[in-house]
Structure 1
């Protein structure tokens, strides 16, 4: 099995260690200038922070493979400090801290399927489906004459977050939310 990758063999989606952190390669471009040493311009995403960085490396650089694995799990429950997930294949339980879950806690509903990224036997990130359906718990009524200039209003969802929705959305409506942006998509 390959333990190191040369700068020339980096491909999008490959997980390697860069600056002692696990990263996913997004793009790599080899550059051979007229004068001087050849180099590669690499764009990568730090898995821990989610930050996207573009930098250059010498053509002689090597990168260690990141021993990162993704596990498909189902959300069980939480106690406000920890979220509990279950791997359906081997029934292994994973405990994830509030810090790792972050804002995504508002898009996680019971029995939802997601993916956990594990590095050094610790969960470092969570990936959700792109869309989730949530129920409107509370919203204000807008008088029709006032709706001409304001076509969005605040609504409280059943997960506890308030987002902007179109004025025609009512209490108990089920709406589709984009989990990547946290924005309203459509009414179900």
Structure 2
């Protein structure tokens, strides 16, 4: 079974969520974690950054920077430690990534062949790991796509990288490489244009040559 790195901090199987699709669960503000999807009013917000603060006087609070999944706008919000927050309950579906155009990134459900798309703002840096025709896990809130799960590693082709330099010292044996998706990673000197490499999707680091 392929392992997946979670963009959202919690991931649910489709069969377990038939009754909970589009619903929310309550969570205390102090338990919020980066990557979670929460609901404030009618907005769905991805938590990008969290800072837990406890002032010398008064109660602690959580300062959050969030991304509105629907509008692409970012916002800051301060939660009191005792606040209860609505966390979106998500359904996940295996889909095939098709292509990107000006309207977003397009995916097809591998079970019923229905297509859906998401804006680049909602996907963030995950777009750098999407390969046409590759299988991916797409997160849904009800019938609305809200994010994706990436595999732990992906294999990408090197499109551009400087040639190796003869006589370079050991400390200089790392160079930048631009991959087929536009992602730039640091690679060993022996990597050449046309090579396929394995990249860690959590860190964006080179793992090995394939």
- Per the TM superposition, whether the score is higher than 0.5 is yes
Aligned to 1:131: 153
Aligned to 1:167: 189
Q: Which of 140, 157, 167 in structure 2 is aligned with 1:145?
A: 167
Q: Which of 144, 147, 153 in structure 2 is aligned with 1:122?
A: 144
Length, aligned pairs only = 178
Q: Quick one: distance in 2 between partners of 1:138 and 1:15?
A: 36
Q: Quick one: distance in 2 between partners of 1:98 and 1:23?
A: 14
Q: Quick one: distance in 1 between partners of 2:174 and 2:27?
A: 51
3-state SS in 2 of match to 1:142:
coil
Q: CA deviation at 1:87?
A: 0.9
Contact 1:75 1:110 in 2 (8 A): yes
Q: TM-score under structure 1 normalisation?
A: 0.67
Q: Quick one: distance in 2 between partners of 1:138 and 1:110?
A: 19
Contact 1:139 1:154 in 2 (8 A): yes
Q: CA deviation at 1:100?
A: 1.7
Distance 1:160 1:149, change over 3 A: same
Q: Deviations over 1:38-66 (max 9, x none)?
A: xxx99xxx7968xxxxx7755xx766563
Q: What's the Cα RMSD here?
A: 4.3
Q: TM-score under structure 2 normalisation?
A: 0.61
Q: Deviations over 1:10-45 (max 9, x none)?
A: 9x9x98757875689xxxxxxxxxxxxxxxx99xxx
Distance 1:157 1:71, change over 3 A: same
Q: CA deviation at 1:98?
A: 1.7
Q: Which of 167, 178, 183 in structure 1 is aligned with 2:200?
A: 178
Q: Quick one: distance in 2 between partners of 1:15 and 1:149?
A: 42
Distance 1:82 1:64, change over 3 A: closer
Q: Deviations over 1:44-102 (max 9, x none)?
A: xx7968xxxxx7755xx766563432222111112244111011112221111121232
Contact 1:4 1:62 in 2 (8 A): no
Distance 1:48 1:127, change over 3 A: farther
- Structure 1, unmatched stretches of 5+, are 25-40, 50-54
The question of 1:98 aligning with 2:120 is answered yes
Q: Quick one: distance in 2 between partners of 1:95 and 1:77?
A: 10
The question of 1:75 aligning with 2:97 is answered yes
- Higher RCO (CA-CA < 8 Å; seq separation 6+): 2
Contact 1:75 1:85 in 2 (8 A): yes
Contact 1:147 1:167 in 2 (8 A): no
- Structure 2, unmatched stretches of 5+, are 1-19, 48-60, 70-78
